Structure 1
């Protein structure tokens, strides 16, 4: 399995079935000409790679958004010149998105593929539609070719996608963001005085990456723009260079021009791709942490009676930081308050179910009893709201699995499907990671959780991510790493008992029974009635060699059966 960040071009022939039905031989000649003279050579000249061909459509990967868009424009221009006299006219739709892509055997999937395909399907014949992430990576020679298409609601894509269109803009697809009251972030294109192509391209790539990461985060929307109008926060950066040396100066300001973050990143041009990934993730993470801290300060200074539904939903998410009973109760309480104001608010319902199921998984039975009726109402609400966001879907699936109505194989397929549609949001990654750990699939869990930590290290969800990592390392038999990760988490909170259980199991597997028993003593001090069977039942752990390492370790450490 190969993962990469790529510019994805999705192309499709309009009215293919009708054209084949009218004159199949002429249509086949036209297709051969298209592949040999237009599509194939153009893709190759722009360093693209066809990874999937469906007869009437293609998925093509590029390392550069500029190459993907340039190729799309040349293909459409060639087709606009007209058809061969004896062949039907071929008209194509094209969508381009920059996102995470996974290649496995003969298939390709991921956020990049899903969004590009949906953009293509929603576009008008003969047009090219690119996402904001792609548009932000284009230079001044390509941008004028595109008009602002606004935000489009796309089928099975959680958030509306800001698009730019070359050609006709279908009125039916335009829509405002569903989270219109969320945190709006303006990402100013990274500027540089260096006219070298690789430096200019790096600036565009960082702009696109950071926007993509921020926009994939729950409770906020991000867009590349020079305008600061209506944005609550503005992220700016300037890329300086001297020979092989690079320095990116970054600052985050609010609508009143107050500076909340000012930092810099140094690197070398020889290591440009790795540095781009590192800087984009670290820049996004620090921005998220700063924004959440600023919002927490604002919420703390606001009377509860003056909080909006959006405020309560955000406060519910931020309160999860310590994963202790008090934090989870605050999350559930704010969820109830948000839904009293807006009963159909899907983001609040999602976060409330996450908190409730966390209570169930960790073993906080009193909180489960207190909020069980609310959770039942929230689950039913998803059917009424037809919510398709990944967190909503995972909440429903987790409940179904614990009830026994979803098999392990179905749950695995479900998690893989969720990752294909939302592989950039650290919350989704964290809970998919935990889901794989419950199934005893530590390699898949580790893939999700490592990426979640890179994107969410500076966010309130760090502790939950570290807990998942500890479980994944433990199931892989990497006991020292499990202990180190749990230690990092316990430095944040000593009340997240999952970390003590994992520490105990890891030390027991290493033969250090004194430290193992000390960790179990902490668990039983906080949860006197905890047992191995209770841990297994409330999280739905599968019984396989990977999970047995955990439960055998707990048994050796002295946790009662």
Structure 2
């Protein structure tokens, strides 16, 4: 008998008996697809462990309430996107509670299981219902997704349970993302003939991890599917085993079945979790580098007249790699070309506003002057597309933030709306993290940016995330951590000037004057006209105690007022 405190996820399929009665074969196909493509990979990649399966429902244990809720939300959002046209639509109810559980033989008991099961039974189809104990454990990226449901009387539970609800109508409004018309990769579920539980779960976990990393690139979307569909690339993975020895065979092919990558990874069940993490990261990096090079080669060999709006948009996304003036200008020029071909293309508009906003915040005034007219046109066009791309709503607060006409509470309202829409979306997390930095709110900024960094370890936006983390660390008084993340970024690109500013301010706050002066010297080398007032005005920083730490550090480091 094993007793522990755990986050318990209880899930079941709505109308299971009716669906089986109407067409059992189609329903069984849908169930297999659910387990292989949606439920299994999401649960395993969030470190969940299925401890009980009832055919139409599951009990899953997590060590973290954040992982349990994140997994539940991803599953519900994935189901909301729809399944195979020849299979019945599956909807689920999910409840999550944090409490004691007891495992004995092949069953699990305890308060955690009882309450989670009753929450699931009382939940609406498509929703995620959590207890107060779970809600209190969530970070600032997840809480906005839930509404206060009040106290519920649950069957056979002695006292009322205060609940929080993420209803079906609150699921991701960014399900149809701006990347949907761009480059796609299908990740086939990792295949294995080993029926041992730990190997099966490892296969699910690698499937989920790799898909998550590939999907957080801004220039490519990834989905788990047994069918390639209309994707340009297909990643096939096979996990073999012999005793404790493991081998993951990898093959990446394109639409014409050309093999672009064929490799293998060896490991052991004795260090299964470390191996899962290292393989998922290394494999994702190899796949991304391979596709990046392949697409760059394809685009460079295509004549100007043959390049489509989708091609130009992909060029703009690929150019956002180092966040220096040269890469930003390339990205902006490609956006202009894409929008000449296809006016009001959402993904191109989004990339244009991103590149221009980065240029403006970094202080590249010449670049901004050249594209100011375009940026105004893009901003106006984005206002017509809120229903297509809700992240455009950030433009409602970006401009006014610079001139001080937007109230901080209005900015927070928009950010919470975006987090409510998709707290797992990489681009969303980057945007919101930086906006919290400008508001001088380091705690939610760190929540957003840490989650973004975890998802987008191989994204070119990693530099921007590290810069935002550096400022948020300074705002929270963690100066050594600010230096650590900036050094990590500078090892990738010495052209991202924000990292030098943050390093200078952090060293100055630590009293290491020589290092602070050296960092500011690099800033002024790249941008001789830079000033503290310019930095403040370009990004519209709110005057808070944390923000004052940043600007005081810049002043002590020698940046002119």
Q: How high is the TM-score relative to the length of structure 1?
A: 0.69
1:370-415 Cα shifts (integer Å, max 9, x gaps) = 2112111111112223345354233443234224343223323322
Q: Once superposed, which parts of structure 1, at least 4 consecutive aligned residues long, lie more than 6 Å away? A: 3-12, 41-45, 59-66, 72-75, 106-115
2:535 alignment partner in structure 1: 535
Q: Which residue of 2 aligns with 1:406?
A: 406
RCO comparison, higher one (Cα < 8 Å, 6+): 2
Q: Quote the Cα distance in structure 1 between the aligned partners of 2:136 and 2:354.
A: 34
Contact 2:506 2:553 in 1 (8 A): yes
Alignment match, 1:47: 59
What is the CA-CA distance between 1:242 and the residue it aligns to? 4.1
**1:503·1:519 contact (CA, 8 Å) conserved in 2?**
yes
Name the CA distance, whole Å, in 2 between partners of 1:346 and 1:5: 39
Q: Does 1:104 align with 2:139?
A: no
CA RMSD of aligned residues (A): 4.4
Deviates more, 1:523-532 or 1:381-390: 381-390
- Contact 2:480/2:506 (CA < 8 Å) preserved in 1? yes
- Structure 2 matches for 1:402-481, cutoff 5 A? 402-481=402-481
CA drift of 1:471 comes to 1.8
Change (3 A) 1:201 1:479: same
CA distance in 1, matches of 2:447, 2:390: 18
Contact 2:91 2:125 in 1 (8 A): no
What SS does structure 1 have at the residue aligned with 2:186? strand
Contact 2:12–2:56 (CA under 8 A) maintained in structure 1: no
CA distance in 1, matches of 2:139, 2:554: 40
- Distance, in Å, in 2 between the alignment partners of 1:407 and 1:331 is 32
Contact 1:316 1:332 in 2 (8 A): yes
Local SS of the residue matching 1:190: coil
Aligned partners of 2:501 and 2:520 also within 8 Å = yes
- The 5 A counterparts of 1:40-439 are 46-47=58-59, 94-95=125-126, 103-105=134-136, 157-160=173-176, 181-211=181-211, 214-215=214-215, 218-228=218-228, 230-244=230-244, 246-262=246-262, 264=264, 269=269, 280=280, 283-284=283-284, 286-389=286-389, 391-439=391-439
Distance 1:406 1:367 in 2: 26
Distance 1:345 1:543, change over 3 A: same
Corresponding residue of 1:488? 488
1:399-432 residue CA offsets vs partner (Å, 9 max, x unmatched): 3422434322332332233223223333322222
Secondary structure, aligned partner of 2:195: coil
User: Which residue number in structure 1 is paired with residue 97 of structure 2?
Assistant: none
Equivalent pairs counted in the alignment come to 452
Contact preservation (8 Å) 1:7, 1:96: no
Relative to structure 1, the CA distance from residue 536 to residue 64 in structure 2 (aligned partners, 3 Å threshold; closer, same or farther) is: closer
Cα distance in 2 for residues equivalent to 1:308 and 1:7: 47
Measure, in 2, the Cα distance between the counterparts of 1:5 and 1:480.
37
Change (3 A) 1:272 1:309: same
Alignment match, 1:141: none
Deviation at 1:334, TM superposition (A): 0.8
Contact 2:141 2:448 in 1 (8 A): no
Rate the CA distance shift 1:109–1:530 in 2: closer, same or farther, 3 A: closer
Q: Structure 2: 5+ residue runs without aligned partners? A: 1-5, 16-52, 62-68, 80-89, 94-120, 147-168
Classify the secondary structure of the residue corresponding to 1:318.
Answer: helix
Task: Output the TM-score relative to the length of structure 2.
Answer: 0.69
Aligned counterparts of 1:508 and 1:64: Cα–Cα separation in 2: 42
Distance 1:344 1:380, change over 3 A: same
SS in 2 for 1:158: coil
The unaligned stretches of length 5 or more in structure 1 are 13-40, 50-58, 76-89, 116-152, 161-176
- For residues 141 and 12 of structure 2, the distance between their equivalents in structure 1, rounded to whole angstroms, comes to 13
Aligned partners of 2:397 and 2:406 also within 8 Å: yes
CA contact (8 A) 2:190 2:236 kept: yes
